[in-house]
A = this chain, B = another copy of it.
Amino acid sequence: MAKPPKVPEATIKRLSIYMRVLKDLIKKDVTVISSAELADICGVNAAQIRKDLTYFGEFGIRGVGYYVNQLHLDIRKVLGLNQRRNVALVGVGNLGRALVSYRNFGDHGYNFAAAFDVNPDRIGETLAPGVVVHHMDDLPRVAAEQEIEIAIITTPAAAAQSAADRIVAAGIKGILNFAPTLLQVPDDVRVKRVDLTTEFDNLVYHLYTRSR
């Protein structure tokens, strides 16, 4: 809620990771953890963790550490993850189907609520319990009804921009783009690109460049 100074983008990404680790620790019945221990698990510097956290408040106890359960909750709140979010799939191909059936999302509060495609053969199909394929034309209506907050684009590259335009027109402000295209969207819409070939490229560079 409160946004005191400006928080580094990198901090936000790390909070997400801390959260995941804390969730694991809860399962292992760890109740308290120091910044040094958490840092070790996450592979970052201990001061980094403390600084990341103090952007949002004081969560620790001096001489003791952090209560795992409480910290997990606090970070969730900071990230805005204390409620379920409805997600729509746009583009029902192999990748899209795989993502819908991927368990992990549900565990983390993300709910596939609908899917969309332009291929008539796919309309009406049920991809998973509660996930029916609609025609793209119905996106505005269904998005409103199902309170969709995030769209995942898994269309072919050539269709991605047009899909994005229609997603934007339907009032959805968050897009995860799996198509290998740079999307053009208004300033108030946030796009995250997931480009697997870029990840490969990066891996290859580091494999064949001895520097670190």
Q: Find out whether the CB atom of B105 lies under 8 angstroms from the CB atom of A182.
A: no
Stoichiometry, copies per complex: 2
The size bracket of the interface on A is 35 or more
Q: Find out whether the CB atom of A150 lies under 8 angstroms from the CB atom of B204.
A: yes
Q: Find out whether the CB atom of B194 lies under 8 angstroms from the CB atom of A80.
A: no
Interface-located stretch among A91-99, A116-124, A132-140: A91-99
Q: Find out whether the CB atom of A108 lies under 8 angstroms from the CB atom of B200.
A: yes
* Neighbouring B residues of A105 by C-beta, 8 Å: 196-197, 200
Complex Cα distance, B190 from A208, in Å, reads: 11
* Neighbouring B residues of A15 by C-beta, 8 Å: 201
Complex Cα distance, B43 from A190, in Å, reads: 14
* Neighbouring B residues of A195 by C-beta, 8 Å: 20
Complex Cα distance, B150 from A203, in Å, reads: 8
Quote the shortest CB–CB distance from A183 to chain B (angstroms).
Answer: 10
Quote the shortest CB–CB distance from A132 to chain B (angstroms).
Answer: 19
* Neighbouring B residues of A194 by C-beta, 8 Å: 194, 196, 199
Quote the shortest CB–CB distance from A106 to chain B (angstroms).
Answer: 10
Identify which of B98, B104, B108, B192 contacts A203 (C-beta below 8 A). Answer: B192
Which A148-207 residues sit within 8 Å CB-CB of chain B? 149-150, 157, 173-176, 180, 182, 190, 192, 194-207
Which A18-53 residues sit within 8 Å CB-CB of chain B? 19-21, 41-43
Complex Cα distance, B182 from A198, in Å, reads: 20
Quote the shortest CB–CB distance from A43 to chain B (angstroms).
Answer: 7
The reply on A16 being an interface residue by CB < 8 A is yes
Complex Cα distance, B20 from A3, in Å, reads: 37
Chain B: CB-nearest residue to A6: B211
Identify which of B94, B192, B199 contacts A199 (C-beta below 8 A). Answer: B192
Q: Find out whether the CB atom of B80 lies under 8 angstroms from the CB atom of A209.
A: yes
Given A43-B182, A102-B95, A197-B104, the answer on whether A85 and B204 have CB atoms closer than 8 Å is yes
